[in-house]
């Protein structure tokens, strides 16, 4: 049984484990004040080309989202996101728990366009309604689609002129940055947003997301807020060492590229076999539409998520590839499907 269920089925890239082993008996300061974290942050700043950003390493995506968003907003301020947004549907109301409404806008492909945000602003006219203040997007989106540099720029300008914070959940950011057509770099991410995070967990780390805060107004006292949410590890080195490895010699991008390539291979095989897709995703998530009978038979050899019922006879499934996906498994899947 081979799993295409997600990009966190395996442990970490061996190079990361190796670095953990080698540094193991060094004595380091706690709570992210260690030399590895310092070094990882240095590398990230260098790669982005901006020394004035703040970088914080946090265990996971939900924790990063809730810590950052609740740090950025006043109590009556709200987030706007797509109806498929992770904070809207898959974080057990973490944002609401911190007191903030999550306003959703319809979206076919998981992306948000300024027109939709404008409608939200128009509706929220006075103090009887929350004040929309932060636009949350993920890149890639939950549906695997990507904001290109141009699209991000447009959304960024809209946010700026409407005094909205633009925050990007980059749980799978590596995959987006390695899509040529998106033409997007880490520097662009920084230039066009107020804050975003670079996901490690889904790209080869055991745990870890690197939150980048560019907007000066959002930086103050962030470590207090991290500690308060339980998001400051005593052994912060665990995060530091991993990001050190990921951003030394571009391992992060290599891993993302592999995930994308495996997804492409999958898609090409499925297209060849004339399968349709729920959405046109270039990243490491693929959503083919298969007959339910075929799905059942595939489940004998592969595990994956059934995403959405399409009609009585067919459903879209989700296939996720990662840094760890084996080419043979992909080929076997395609072969199986073609039978």
Of residues 31 through 50, those in contact with a second copy by CB under 8 A are 31
Q: Does 316 bind a second copy (CB under 8 A)?
A: no
Q: Please report how close the Cβ of residue 224 comes to a second copy at its closest, in angstroms.
A: 4
Q: Please report how close the Cβ of residue 179 comes to a second copy at its closest, in angstroms.
A: 23
Using alpha carbons only, give the angle 166, 63, 24 rounded to the nearest 5 degrees: 120
Q: Are 99 and 75 in contact (CB under 8 A)?
A: yes
Q: Does 116 bind a second copy (CB under 8 A)?
A: no
How far apart, in Å, are the Cα atoms of 249 and each of 72, 179, 245? 33, 19, 8
Q: Does 9 bind a second copy (CB under 8 A)?
A: yes
Using alpha carbons only, give the angle 291, 292, 294 rounded to the nearest 5 degrees: 70
Q: Which of 112, 120, 233, 317 binds a second copy (CB under 8 A)?
A: 233
Classify 144 in phi/psi space as left (phi over 0), alpha (psi -120 to 50) or beta.
left
Q: Does 163 bind a second copy (CB under 8 A)?
A: no
Of residues 246 through 265, those in contact with a second copy by CB under 8 A are none
- CB under 8 A: which stretch of 37-45, 94-102, 257-265, 282-290 binds a second copy? 94-102
What six digits make up the tokens of 337? 């499907």
Which helix (H) or strand (E) covers residue 118, if one does? helix 114-123
Q: Are 246 and 204 in contact (CB under 8 A)?
A: yes
Q: Does 234 bind a second copy (CB under 8 A)?
A: yes
Q: Does 6 bind a second copy (CB under 8 A)?
A: yes
Q: Please report how close the Cβ of residue 81 comes to a second copy at its closest, in angstroms.
A: 13
Site for a second copy (CB under 8 A): how many residues? 76
- CB under 8 A: which stretch of 100-108, 135-143, 144-152, 268-276 binds a second copy? 100-108
The DSSP string of 224-291 is: HHHHHTT-S-TTTHHHHHHHHHHHSTTHHHHHHHHHHHHHHHHHHHHHHTT-EESS---SSEE-EEEE
Of residues 57 through 86, those in contact with a second copy by CB under 8 A are 59-67, 70-71, 74-76, 78
Q: Are 22 and 214 in contact (CB under 8 A)?
A: no
Q: By 3-state DSSP, what share of the chain in percent is helix, strand and coil, each rounded to 5?
A: 45, 20, 40
Nearer to a second copy, 144 or 240 (CB): 240
Q: Which of 92, 161, 274, 300 binds a second copy (CB under 8 A)?
A: 92
Q: Does 206 bind a second copy (CB under 8 A)?
A: yes
Pairing mode of beta strands 54-58, 209-213: antiparallel
Q: Does 125 bind a second copy (CB under 8 A)?
A: no
Q: Does 202 bind a second copy (CB under 8 A)?
A: yes
Q: Please report how close the Cβ of residue 238 comes to a second copy at its closest, in angstroms.
A: 5
Q: Please report how close the Cβ of residue 268 comes to a second copy at its closest, in angstroms.
A: 24
Q: Which of 97, 187, 301, 338 binds a second copy (CB under 8 A)?
A: 97
């Amino acid at each position: 049984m081979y799993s295409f269920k997600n990009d966190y089925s395996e442990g970490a890239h061996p190079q990361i484990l190796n670095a953990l082993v080698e540094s193991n008996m060094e004595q380091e300061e706690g709570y992210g004040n260690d030399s590895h974290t310092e070094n990882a942050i240095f590398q990230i700043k260098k790669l982005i080309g901006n020394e004035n950003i703040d970088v914080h390493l946090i265990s996971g995506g939900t924790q990063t989202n809730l810590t950052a968003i609740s740090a950025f907003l006043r109590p009556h301020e709200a987030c706007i996101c797509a109806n498929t947004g992770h904070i809207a549907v898959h974080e057990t109301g973490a944002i609401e728990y911190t007191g903030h409404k999550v306003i959703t806008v319809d979206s076919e492909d998981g992306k948000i366009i300024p027109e939709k945000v404008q409608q939200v602003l128009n509706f929220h006219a006075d103090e009887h309604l929350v004040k929309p203040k932060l636009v949350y997007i993920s890149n890639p989106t939950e549906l695997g689609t990507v904001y290109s540099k141009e699209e991000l720029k447009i959304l960024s300008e809209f946010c700026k002129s409407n005094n909205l914070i633009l925050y990007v959940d980059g749980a799978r950011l590596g995959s987006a940055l390695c899509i040529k057509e998106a033409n997007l770099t880490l520097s662009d991410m920084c230039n066009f947003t107020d804050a975003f995070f670079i996901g490690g967990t889904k790209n080869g780390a055991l745990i870890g997301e690197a939150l980048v805060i560019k907007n000066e107004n959002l930086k103050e006292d962030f470590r207090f807020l991290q500690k308060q949410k339980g998001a400051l590890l005593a052994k912060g080195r665990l995060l530091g060492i991993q990001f050190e490895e990921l951003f030394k010699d571009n391992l992060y991008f290599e891993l993302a590229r592999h995930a994308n390539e495996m997804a492409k291979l999958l898609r090409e095989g499925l297209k060849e076999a004339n399968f349709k897709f729920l959405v046109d995703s270039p990243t490491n998530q693929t959503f083919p539409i298969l007959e339910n009978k075929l799905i059942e038979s595939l489940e004998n050899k592969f595990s994956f998520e059934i995403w959405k019922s399409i009609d009585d006879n067919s459903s879209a499934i989700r296939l996720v590839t990662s840094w760890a996906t084996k080419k043979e498994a992909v080929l076997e899947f395609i072969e199986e499907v073609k039978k």
